[in-house]
Structure 1
Amino acid sequence: MPAPTPLGRATGSVLRLVKEESYYHKELAHQETRISKLQEEIASGKPDLDSNAPYMLKQEQTALEETKAVFGPLRDKIAEAVQNLEEQIAITESDGVEGKEEELKTAREAVESGRKIAEQQE
C-alpha cells in the first residue's frame, strides 16, 4: 500500500475533524438529556433519588459547558485544515490531475463539509 499523498493526508485531516465535531454534537445532546432528566427528578422529589442529586446536576452542567467550549477552537481547527486542503488541491491541480480525479473529488467534498461547519455560529 503506497504512502498517502499530501492531498490524501489533508483530506483525511478535514474528514477526521468533521467527524469529531459531529461526535461532540451527539455528546452535547446526550448531556442535555441527562440534565433534563435529573432536573425533572429533583423537581418531582422522587423518593429514591440520591442525596447527591444536586451535586450531580451541577457536575453534569459543568460537563455540558465544557463540551460547548470545545466547538469554537474545533471550528478554528477545521477552518485551518480546510485552508490547507484547498492549498493541496491547488498544488495537485497545478501538477496535473491525471489519475487523481477521485482523490480530488473526495478532497472537494471534504472542503465543502468542512466549510459548512467552520462557518457555523453557536
Structure 2
Amino acid sequence: MPPPTSLILKALSVTRLIKEERHYHKELLHEKQRLQGMRAAPETDVYAVKQQETVVDETLLVMPTVRMKLAVALEALITQLDAANPADTEETVMNARNAVEQAKKVLEEDHSKEEEEL
C-alpha cells in the first residue's frame, strides 16, 4: 500500500477538526445545561458551581482556537486541491472536496444564539 498523499492527509486533518469543533459545541451545551441545573438546585455547593463555571469558561476559550485551526487547514486543503497531483485518485479528490464543503458549512454556522439561550 502506497503512503498517503498530501491531499489525503490534509483532508483527514480537516475532517478531524470538523469533528473536534462539533464535539466542543456539544460539550459546551451540555456543560451549560449542567451549570443551570446546579444553580437551580438549592442544595448545590457554591464551590461546585464555581468549578462548573470554570469548565464552561475553559470550553469557551478552546472553541475559537479550534475554529481558527479548521480555517487554516481548510485553506491548506483548498490549495492542495488546486495543485492537482496526478498521484491523487478521483476518489481522493472527491473525498477532499466533500471535506471542503463540510468545513465551509461548519465555519458558517453561528452557535452564539443557541449558546446565549442556555
What TM-score comes out, normalization by structure 2 length? 0.84
Q: Structure 2 CA distance, aligned partners of 1:119 and 1:73?
A: 16
- 2:11 aligned partner: 11
Amino acid at match of 2:93: L
- 1:38 aligned partner: 38
Higher Rg: 1
2:66 is aligned, of 54, 70, 74, to 74
Deviation of 1:66 (Å): 1.0
Tell me the secondary structure at the aligned position of residue 79 of structure 1: helix
Gaps of 5+ in 1: 43-48
Deviation of 1:2 (Å): 2.1
Q: Structure 2 CA distance, aligned partners of 1:65 and 1:100?
A: 44
Give the number of aligned pairs. Answer: 111
**What stretches of structure 1 move > 2 A for 4+ residues in a row?**
116-122
1:101 is aligned, of 81, 85, 90, to 90
Give matches, 1:40-55, under 5 Å.
40-42=40-42, 49=43, 53-55=45-47
What TM-score comes out, normalization by structure 1 length? 0.82
Amino acid at match of 1:77: K
Q: Structure 2 CA distance, aligned partners of 1:33 and 1:26?
A: 11
Determine what percentage of the aligned residue pairs are the same residue. 37
Q: Structure 2 CA distance, aligned partners of 1:72 and 1:88?
A: 24
With 21-30 and 9-18 compared, the bigger mean Cα shift is at 21-30
Amino acid at match of 1:80: V
Q: Structure 1 CA distance, aligned partners of 2:41 and 2:20?
A: 32
- 2:105 aligned partner: 116
Q: Structure 2 CA distance, aligned partners of 1:118 and 1:106?
A: 18
CA-based RMSD: 1.8
Gaps of 5+ in 2: 113-118
- 1:57 is aligned to 2:49: yes
